[in-house]
Amino acid sequence: MSRRAILPAKGMPDSINTDAPENADELQGDDSPEVTIYELRSAPNARRVRLDQFITRSVENASRSKVKLLIEAGGVVVNGAVITKAGRLVCPGDMVVCTVPKPPPPDVLPENIPLEIVFEDDEVIIVNKPAGMVTHPAFGNYSGTLVNALLFYTDSLSHERGDDRPGILHRLDKDTSGLLAIAKTARAHQVIAKQFADHSIDREYQAIVWGSFKNSTGLIEAPLARHPSDRKKVAVVEGGKYAATEYTVLEDYGFISLVRLKLRTGRTHQIRVHMAHVHHPVFGDPTYGGRRIHYGSVTGRFKSFIHELLILLPRQALHARTLGFVHPVTEERAAFESPLPADMREALDRIRAYAAAE
């Protein structure tokens, strides 16, 4: 059984308390093959609204027709009582609990998708994931993922996280490039997953970010939780889960900097949210403000230059450059590195040339 506290849809005056999961590689928690339970509380100052409307607006991807069927089937409880009338009004402070049977996910099929293998032995595979590739199948992405490619590449993958996520120990956002560790055996999965849980994995990223930092090194400590009005985003929220990111400025061009980032914790969207929180959003990030001009001149030449950079980088300029962990068999420290991808290298070349000409 999977129990989820789900934030209401945008514009709804209803609210509940929720946050990101401990292993914040995903916004969603682990899924159950049986049911998912959504707990939704109407805010004290909320207006009264029909039950089917309240649920449809509060649960992502819910349709009015499906919600109505769920209510009529007895799958919705309001303040401890089963409600079968879709028109029942939800009042301020009401607790609505929906028990939704989960359809089985479609079969995850092998697909002949090229992979860049950085390292492989009998226990692990280290993959350099390109930007644009989803790590594992999920709603709306059941093909073209790294998992589809891995299933075609090898029959040796751990299934500790289920048949739809074979080998997956952690993930990178779709438009973040870089290194991922894949477990081939149950032993490797258990040993390396524990290192992720203990925050003893070495992970360093490089990012092109907006602006110039006051200090060349620093530590960002800001608690993270789901965004209070947009459940697809993460935000710095008082009472959220502790999150810490170390940064080092590698190159500073005034309006843009190249930084190295080290994770002390591994929360969902941690780097992207922390950078935006300190007013240095990752360049090109469409979710956290990276596609707006934050620093630099107001000249037409500068705006044109930035426009061209954003065309070159239609994604966040974030790359998982290094990955290190204790090998599950040799018990020695293994470390891997991936150079910046071509789009980030070209962007940096253009930035350096522009800065030199100023």
In DSSP terms, 220 is beta-bridged to 245
What's the CA gap between 160 and 183, in Å, rounded? 9
For the four alpha carbons of 20, 238, 12 and 230, in that order, the dihedral sign comes to negative
186-217 burial by CB neighbour count: b if 16+ within 10 A, else e? eebbebbbebbeeeebebbbbbbbbbebeeee
Phi/psi-derived region of residue 116, left when phi > 0, alpha when psi is between -120 and 50, beta in every other case: beta
Q: Are 158 and 185 in contact (CB under 8 A)?
A: yes
94, 173, 175, 285: the active-site residue = 173
Give rounded-to-5 percent helix, strand, coil for the chain: 20, 30, 50
173 has catalytic annotation: yes
Smallest CA-to-CA distance from 325 within 205, 206, 204, 200 is with 200
Q: How many residues does the chain have?
A: 358
Q: Look-up: residue for tokens 């032993």?
A: 187
Q: What is the DSSP letter of 168?
A: B
What is the distance between the alpha carbons of residues 201 and 326, in angstroms, rounded to a whole number?
A: 8
Query: Residues 6 or more apart from 140 whose CB is under 8 A from it?
Result: none
Torsions phi, psi of 304, nearest 5?
Answer: -65, -40
| DSSP for residue 342 | H
CA 77-82-88 angle, to 5 degrees, is 80
Cα separation, 160 vs 167, in Å, equals 8
DSSP string spanning 203-216? Answer: EEEEEEEES--SSS
User: How far is Cα 173 from Cα 155, in angstroms, rounded to an integer?
Assistant: 25
Which residues form the catalytic set? Answer: 173
